[in-house]
Amino acid sequence: MAALKTVAARMEGDIFQGMFFWLQAARLLRPTSLVNRVVFEHDQTAGVDDVVVYYDEPGINAGGFMCAADFYQIKYHVDRSNEYSVDAFCDPGFTGTTRSLLKRFYDVHRMLCLQGVNHRLHLVSNWDWSSNDPIGPLLRESKSGALPDDFFSAGPRSALGKARAKWRDHLGLEDAEFNGFARRLCLGVNYFGRREFRDYVNARLSSAGLREIPNDQKQNIYDTLYQQFVIDGTNEFDRASFRAMCEQERLIVPAAPSGPPVFGIRSFIRFAENMENECRRFVCVAEYFDGRYVRDNALWDKAVRPDVEAFLSNPALRKQEHHLLLDCHGTLAFLAGYELDRKSGARVFPVQKGVNTTVWKPTGPGSPATAESGWRVEGSDLGKGPKDIAFSISVTHDITEDVREYLGKGGVRVARFIDTRPVTGIGSQSVSSADHAVALANELAGIIRDSRPLNGGAIHVFCSAPNALLFFLGQHRGWLGELQLYEFDFEGIHGGSYTPSIRFL
């Protein structure tokens, strides 16, 4: 039985690596994709060789440099009892080899630099990074696992500074050379569980026009083909050879009538790494954020808002129906609705992601969902002071106490606090459809309008709601008056509270 488990564990890892190959290779069929070649078990880069993705010249923007190729080392573990850490990355015994993980990655980095290949090096693993380790909190919601600026700027006596020094000394490098390597290192830990990853691969296959992996059958043609590639030594595909193979194996789904064009807004990378494969055009402002946390609050108005507004000003959005991907902060989903309001002439409908990703296009008044569109509203006076009002919107999560705590610590001074939540309750399924979202947004806009301070002043909006609902709410810009929106520090790296984002006048 022990031998059987060992074989099963090895096969499970091979299956995971095969699925990761298909995830990347499917991009070869996307007309807008920059991927031109995908290789697995790449002999030239031993140590980070499981899957390699090459891009058209000059490469893709990797946040400060153009990346010509991504190199992935995949570590799938059936046993989830261990974790990565700063020390583990320096310990050869952690993986039972003669070289540490850090040295293996650095050796590949040095070789690629000598070859003149601009690159990133990725660890992809279902093991997590220890939460007690200084790097652990940085990797949550990080850009594809890239180490954020805090890792490089932290003082030498800080926990991060000591971690940086440990890695630098382990490699025997000076600061400049070490930083050049570490900025190309991407630590994709706590990667998708098997079921979630399968769904992600299916979404990519479908977007590329390929058959999905059947959920009701044990046999999987993609696993079988990957194993056959290994056996016959076929480990490299370009656009033409991959399409020819897919046609020969009857993997391509007959083309359906094309629908409305899709465009997107991206402000964080995780789960949106390849938005270019999902839409015709998109704007990415992730460079202004560390994960979900803005690098400098002034960037909201100096860079983030202008970039998104310029993108949304395209006249094409007002000439025909479009669908909108919102892999972004709630503030930007609201901004999209604000710029594409009901008087703009735009026919834009948001794509709501979840278990079943759907376009939230309302059918119109009279839907049964409109009968459930009520809100529970509770207000409380906070004493004499400024005219401003704090407005809490709890849809997917109850944020009332977090907002009260922020106000209590003097985050912003207001005269009144208004708490709102749907009558249907709070939770991930609290908004049932596009019609329900529109009806909720319509009523909520009226509540905000009626709550405006009588003698001027702003309404400070804190919300936990689906981006599609925030988009529909933003489309009521004429009713809303002066609003200050806020974002929550989900990673907890910067205090685990709220910070102001964009102010709407």
Burial (CB < 10 A; 0-12, 13-18, 19+), residue 442, is: middle
pLDDT digits (tens, 9 = 90+) for 346-386: 889 998 775 556 888 888 665 555 556 789 999 888 776 67
Q: With b meaning 16 or more CB within 10 Å and e meaning fewer, what string describes 404-430? A: bebbeeebbebbbbbbbbbebebeeeb
Q: What is the pLDDT of residue 428?
A: 80
Euclidean distance between CA atoms 134 and 140, whole angstroms: 12
pLDDT digits (tens, 9 = 90+) for 75-127: 887 776 789 999 999 999 887 888 899 999 999 999 999 999 999 999 998 88
Any idea where the domains of the chain sit in the sequence? 34-74+83-188, 262-358, 372-504
Can you give the pTM of this predicted structure? 0.61
Report the number of secondary-structure helices (H) and strands (E) in the chain.
17, 23
Euclidean distance between CA atoms 454 and 375, whole angstroms: 22
What architecture is domain 372-504?
3-Layer(aba) Sandwich (3.40)
Instruction: Single out the residue of 329, 488, 501, 491 nearest to residue 405, CA to CA.
Output: 488
Euclidean distance between CA atoms 188 and 183, whole angstroms: 14
Q: What is the pLDDT of residue 468?
A: 92
pLDDT > 70 in the chain, percent: 88
Note down pLDDT in tens along the chain; length 505 residues: 444 455 455 667 788 889 999 999 999 998 888 999 999 988 777 778 899 999 999 998 887 789 999 999 998 877 767 899 999 999 998 878 888 999 999 999 999 999 999 999 999 988 888 888 888 877 765 656 888 888 999 899 999 999 999 999 999 999 999 999 999 999 988 876 656 788 888 888 988 889 988 776 667 899 999 999 999 999 999 999 999 999 999 999 876 556 788 888 998 876 666 676 677 788 889 888 887 788 888 999 999 999 999 999 888 888 888 999 898 999 999 999 999 988 888 889 998 775 556 888 888 665 555 556 789 999 888 776 678 899 999 999 999 999 999 988 877 888 889 999 999 889 888 888 889 999 999 999 999 999 888 777 889 999 999 999 999 999 998 888 899 999 988 655 556 688 999 999 8
Q: What is the pLDDT of residue 455?
A: 75
Instruction: Single out the residue of 454, 386, 462, 384 nearest to residue 418, CA to CA.
Output: 462
pLDDT digits (tens, 9 = 90+) for 33-55: 899 999 998 877 777 889 999 99
Pairing mode, strands 236-238 and 262-266: unpaired
Q: What is the pLDDT of residue 240?
A: 96
Assigned token pair, 80? 């989830």
Q: What is the pLDDT of residue 360?
A: 84
